[in-house]
Structure 1
Amino acid sequence: MVLGKLKSVVSNAVKTVDIESKSSSNEELGRKVAELEEYNQQYPEPTEEEYATLPRVAGYAPYQAYLICLVEFAERASYYGVQGCLANFVQLPLPEGGNGAGAPARGTQKNAGALGLGLQVSTAISLLLTFMVYLTPLVGGYLADKRWGRVRTIWWGIWIGGFSHIIMIIAAIPTVLKHGHSALAPTIISIITLAFGSGFIKPNLLPLLYDQYQHKRDVVITDEKTGKKVIVSRDSTLQKMTLFFYWAVNVGGFFAVATSYSAKRVGFWLAFLLPGIVYFVTVPVLMMVSPSLSKEAPSGYSVLGEALGVLGAAFKPGFIGRMRRGEFWEYAMPSVIAEKRPQDLEKVNKRGEKKISWTDQFVKDVRVTFASSYLFLYYVIYNINDSGLGSVTTSQANGMTTNGVPNDLINNINPLVIIVFIPILDYVIYPIMNRYGINFRPVYKVFTGFMLASLASVSGAIIQHYIYKTSPCGNYASNCDIGTGVSPISVWVECVLYALQAMSECFAMTAGYELAYTRAPVHMRGLVMALFLFTTSLSAALSEALTGALVDPHITWVFAGTAIAGAVFAFAFLFVYRNLHIEMDKERHEQEEKLRLEFISKMEELEKDKVQEDVISAQVSRALDTFEEDKELQAIASASMTKK
């Protein structure tokens, strides 16, 4: 009987093993909270008075963060090197009197060409590349968040992109080009695989760079040089890191100058070989820097899949009314489902998995994610103004006097202006603003960028108008064979258009990257960055719909229409998000409070488990004592019986 009681008590005691597994997660949570408290003591948050009186400075990231930018340089050099030549490769035929590799005869106004499929096909293929390049980051962000983590996903992107470059070189070999359109199939295969390679790298590289910076908010420190207190601004630091990253992007983009001249002087095989060589610089650099990187582990579940499940639950019938009542997201929370429709919690999919496997907190994270992503939709029109019309500007240059300059060279003014303008912003304009307490918030940067891009399209419309006015073919200047075939206007006039687009990117794109990272929950940063990049795919799809209008004599109106739309969206963005900084501060405080409350809840749970453990231990101890007493009594009784 005592043994049975002992087994029962010990069986109950075995349940306390769960406490160890719980305590491990509690210890981890406790460690995070302890680190947060220690961090807050070491790096106090500025008070309102300190914000008003102390100067703001940008912080520093460790050196390996900037080696990441070298990876981005090589990847972008390869991408823009191919993209810059793609328009001529597809649109224009092999030049008569050329060398058979696509290069025209010296001393002519002709440009390099290969397939001769025309402007509309060229634009469609260029937009296909753009669409795929900015759609595939959804896959890359998903894999990084769920399975591989950022670094491993980047490695996969590198190998896929390397395969793409090999296929592109094969498509440009003279023996392939001489067979007419036989190079089209490998070209399409190449741009699709190039898009997947870029899609695995692009959404993960900048978040990986941001992860290397230690501060999650503004902090007050004492300047070692002056001995005075200063505010290390997180926004200014991320802005600095983003500018450097974007500077590396455009140094890589400027590599297209080499490929443009290679195509015109030698042929497309060399123009595609050079980007491939530069691309493989990514391998040794990433191998060197990877061990020292601060890395966020993958969450182990499908953020994208779970998010789609939440949306499916939230959009069930009656969602419009719930939106009006402010209950749209709450309807998808498991706690609400358990109360109002508990049968839904037991539903399973074809694999036997529960359809509702998310938590209330995950629904809140999805709400924050989509709230931060709504503003990205404004970038759809912006992207069209910012080089989003495919190869139309390259074709515009084809109708202007080049005097031996490749018509696809002028678009390299864009990265050149960015290379020059970013250091001016970083070392002159922004420090002056910080010194005088001017807070040039991300919303203002986005508005400025949108307006500059709109002005770029205005300049494109003006240039096209004068091309029509001065071309030997009048309003049909894109494929003119009369006289020189071109307008006397110099191709260098297009520099105005590209310079305005470049300056717009320095404001709008860098601010967009910052907003995509800072507002996203930690485990959704890859997804949010992918959503931001996905807006370019939406822009490409919209531009694809406009390709029918990209014919003479309507090109002027395409430029004008996108300029007007861009200005409207710029002012709409400024009005809707004028108080975004207040909302972002509120989100950050909510995250910190959530961590504290979660810790308190876990600690209370742990205390209950400890009390239960003490009770069970006492029961086991008493049972063992009783068992020992019974053994002694049995021994005495046995001895007495023996004596009898």
Structure 2
Amino acid sequence: MVHENFGAVDSSPAIDQNLPATRGPIPYRVWITQGLVFMERAAFYGTSQPFQNYLQLEPHDAHRPGALGFGQARAVLIVYIWFIYIYCTPLVGGLVSDCWLGRRKTISYGFIFYILGLAILTGTAFSHEIYSKGGTAGFVVGTLFIGAGVGLVRPNMTVFIVDQCPEEEPKIVTLKDGTQAVTSRELTIEFIYNINYWMVNIGGLAGIVTTFTELHAGFGYAYLIGLCMIATAAVLFQVGYNHFITAPPAGNVLTSVFDALRRRRQSNYRKPTASGDVTPSSSEQTPEHPDENATILAEAKAALWACLVFLPFPAFMLSIDIMDSGLVAQAGSMETHGLPNDIMFNLNPISVIILLPFFQGWLYPFLAKRKINFTPQHKIAVGLLCAAMAMGYTTGIQHLVYSTGPCYDRPLKCLSGDIPNKVNIGIQTPTYIFLAAGEILAIVSGTELAYLKAPNNMKAIVQAIFQLFSAMGGVLGVALSFAAEDPNMVYVYGSITGLLVVTAVAFEIAIIFFKAFR
């Protein structure tokens, strides 16, 4: 997965345009940053995966661990609000980075917020378990700080990782099979982001450890694992602080855009006289540099165009976010055979880890050799269809659960209570596989486009806007959460399926229309 795919490099300036493209070499700093991404995501997923049980269930439940006892619908609502928050905070992190502090300093401050939030959450989880106090307040305050840390770290780390691979002129390289190819910056970035998402999902497997820990030792120890992971990442980042490459902040980009718009508007008011003469102020266009104004506005326009590809992601992220809430609750209504009901979530990162090398190493080269232009935009559309298949299958599972005794459409609420319906939890497996395929196609492509299409001084901001569109999926989830309880879940999953199909078709039509008329 991580081996170099070329041998000798020909430094000849003459590049044969007919040569096939390949990725360039990956500097060691990229791999170090990938390791930091792994630890940050391990801390995040390891901490957030127990949230549904922590919020929904009462303590001392005979079958599943719990703490705060808010119930399914309210817990789903809180989890969606949490996702909205952590998808919105990156916009602040992107602005702070691109406008004032730069990516390296912003990430450092983000780790501080992260550690503080996890420390509060961990301490109050122990306090609630021992004294039955502090759990709710600690969850609110702790997750607010964690969300601030995510907002400062996540969008900047996504750009920072490519900063460690400076752009170079294309070179002719000899592949291991003896053929020649020319290095491509786009393929290098695609490879880096595929590896990045692979590492993200390896980090996601921390949820296996934390879910078993919450079941057998308690939530405090589960959250302590996340605290140790993020503290380790913060220490390693500081150790290598001066060895990383980072782009300097560009100043207040938004202020520059608004000033350029104001100057252009003022210049447009200066009309030629009736005789056709142009006033001196009009000939000068603006009191400052007109070329600079044009450049600023062109960069802002490029950033806006880069953001258009994010339009289908609210629907897509609705299906992804439901893994942490609705699917956990669904698993809790089935026979778990001694497994934690929230452990099934880990089938998603496991599927990504297995499938991503297949996509990167076989499917994409296979299509390229046959001149099939599987663009990032088309990958997003196919990813939406994969998510639609996942939600359609989940709708069928939910119908099966409601059709099976002993509690039918009121699982866990009949007889003596806490008795699941006789459906094996393993039936959820295809849902997580389909969603994994959708993530590889859509999320990786969206991240790649956000980097490639954004101007240099707005890369973190555009990545943050990508996260903001993902937050809109959480908004949709909040709307659905009011109906997200038994016996309504068939309709909930069915409506998500329909939304994804409509979005995928509309997005593909928009791609075709744009190519035809641009």
Q: Please confirm whether the aligned pair reaches a TM-score higher than 0.5, indicating the same fold.
A: yes
Q: 1:158 to 1:580 in 2, by over 3 A?
A: farther
Structure 1 position 137, deviation (Å)? 0.4
How many residue pairs match? The answer is: 491
Which residue of 2 is the match for residue 87 of structure 1?
52
Counterpart selection for 2:65 from 112, 116, 130: 112
Which residue of 2 is the match for residue 210 of structure 1?
162
Is 1:77 matched with 2:66? no
Counterpart selection for 1:238 from 179, 184, 189: 189
Q: 1:558 to 1:306 in 2, by over 3 A?
A: farther
Structure 1 position 231, deviation (Å)? 2.6
Q: 1:183 to 1:267 in 2, by over 3 A?
A: same
Give the secondary-structure state (helix, strand or coil) at the position aligned to 1:549: coil
Counterpart selection for 1:555 from 489, 499, 508: 489
Structure 1 position 546, deviation (Å)? 1.3
Give 1:224-623 correspondences, 5 Å limit: 228-301=179-252, 303-307=253-257, 309=258, 332=261, 334-340=263-269, 359-388=293-322, 391-477=325-411, 479-480=413-414, 482=416, 485-578=419-512
C-alpha contact (below 8 Å) 1:93/1:115 kept by paired residues: yes
Kindly provide the amino acid, as one letter, of the partner of residue 55 in structure 1.
Answer: P
CA distance in 1, matches of 2:176, 2:513: 36
Which residue of 1 is the match for residue 7 of structure 2?
none
CA distance in 1, matches of 2:448, 2:514: 13
Which residue of 2 is the match for residue 159 of structure 1?
112
Runs of 4+ residues deviating >4 angstroms: 41-46, 178-181, 224-228, 478-484, 579-583
Q: 1:460 to 1:249 in 2, by over 3 A?
A: same
C-alpha contact (below 8 Å) 1:387/1:501 kept by paired residues: no
Structure 1 position 288, deviation (Å)? 4.0
Deviations 1:308-363 (A, max 9, x none): x47xx9xxxxxxxxxxxxxxxxxx36234323179xxxxxxxxxxx9x9x823212
CA distance in 1, matches of 2:28, 2:91: 29
Give 1:97-136 correspondences, 5 Å limit: 104=62, 110-136=63-89
Give the secondary-structure state (helix, strand or coil) at the position aligned to 1:376: coil
Q: 1:388 to 1:403 in 2, by over 3 A?
A: closer
Is 1:177 matched with 2:129? yes
Q: 1:135 to 1:228 in 2, by over 3 A?
A: same
C-alpha contact (below 8 Å) 1:70/1:285 kept by paired residues: no
Structure 1 position 434, deviation (Å)? 3.5
TM-score by length of 1: 0.72
C-alpha contact (below 8 Å) 2:156/2:460 kept by paired residues: yes
Structure 1 position 385, deviation (Å)? 1.8
C-alpha contact (below 8 Å) 1:455/1:500 kept by paired residues: yes
CA distance in 2, matches of 1:439, 1:465: 39
Whichever of the two has the greater Rg, that structure is 1
Give the secondary-structure state (helix, strand or coil) at the position aligned to 2:411: coil
Deviations 1:513-562 (A, max 9, x none): 00000000000001000000111211111211111111222111111111
Q: 1:172 to 1:336 in 2, by over 3 A?
A: closer
Kindly provide the amino acid, as one letter, of the partner of residue 445 in structure 2.
Answer: A
CA distance in 2, matches of 1:434, 1:414: 27
Counterpart selection for 1:195 from 138, 147, 153: 147
Structure 1 position 580, deviation (Å)? 7.0
Is 1:138 matched with 2:91? yes
CA distance in 1, matches of 2:474, 2:173: 49
Structure 1 position 479, deviation (Å)? 4.3
Kindly provide the amino acid, as one letter, of the partner of residue 189 in structure 1.
Answer: V
CA distance in 2, matches of 1:59, 1:579: 33
Give the secondary-structure state (helix, strand or coil) at the position aligned to 2:50: helix
C-alpha contact (below 8 Å) 2:309/2:377 kept by paired residues: no
CA distance in 2, matches of 1:574, 1:404: 44
Kindly provide the amino acid, as one letter, of the partner of residue 512 in structure 1.
Answer: G
Kindly provide the amino acid, as one letter, of the partner of residue 401 in structure 1.
Answer: E
Is 1:64 matched with 2:33? no
**Structure 1 stretch displaced more, 542-551 or 288-297:** 288-297
Q: Matched residues, percent identical?
A: 26
Q: 1:205 to 1:479 in 2, by over 3 A?
A: farther
CA distance in 2, matches of 1:45, 1:562: 49
CA distance in 1, matches of 2:415, 2:440: 39
C-alpha contact (below 8 Å) 1:450/1:567 kept by paired residues: yes
CA distance in 1, matches of 2:46, 2:120: 15
Q: 1:580 to 1:166 in 2, by over 3 A?
A: farther
Deviations 1:105-157 (A, max 9, x none): xxxxx100011110122112211221111100011101110111111101111
Give 1:50-61 correspondences, 5 Å limit: 50=18, 54-61=19-26
Give the secondary-structure state (helix, strand or coil) at the position aligned to 1:172: helix
TM-score by length of 2: 0.88
C-alpha contact (below 8 Å) 2:309/2:446 kept by paired residues: no
Q: 1:395 to 1:151 in 2, by over 3 A?
A: same
Q: 1:574 to 1:234 in 2, by over 3 A?
A: farther
Kindly provide the amino acid, as one letter, of the partner of residue 63 in structure 1.
Answer: Y
What residue ranges of structure 1 are gaps of 5+ in the alignment? Answer: 1-40, 97-103, 105-109, 314-331, 343-353, 587-644
C-alpha contact (below 8 Å) 1:141/1:526 kept by paired residues: yes
**Structure 1 stretch displaced more, 448-457 or 481-490:** 481-490
Structure 1 position 216, deviation (Å)? 6.8
CA distance in 2, matches of 1:249, 1:281: 16
Give the secondary-structure state (helix, strand or coil) at the position aligned to 1:300: coil
Give the secondary-structure state (helix, strand or coil) at the position aligned to 1:116: coil
Q: 1:299 to 1:542 in 2, by over 3 A?
A: same
Kindly provide the amino acid, as one letter, of the partner of residue 267 in structure 1.
Answer: G
Give the secondary-structure state (helix, strand or coil) at the position aligned to 1:230: strand
CA distance in 2, matches of 1:449, 1:341: 50
Kindly provide the amino acid, as one letter, of the partner of residue 221 in structure 1.
Answer: I
**Structure 1 stretch displaced more, 563-572 or 429-438:** 429-438
What residue ranges of structure 2 are gaps of 5+ in the alignment? Answer: 1-10, 272-287
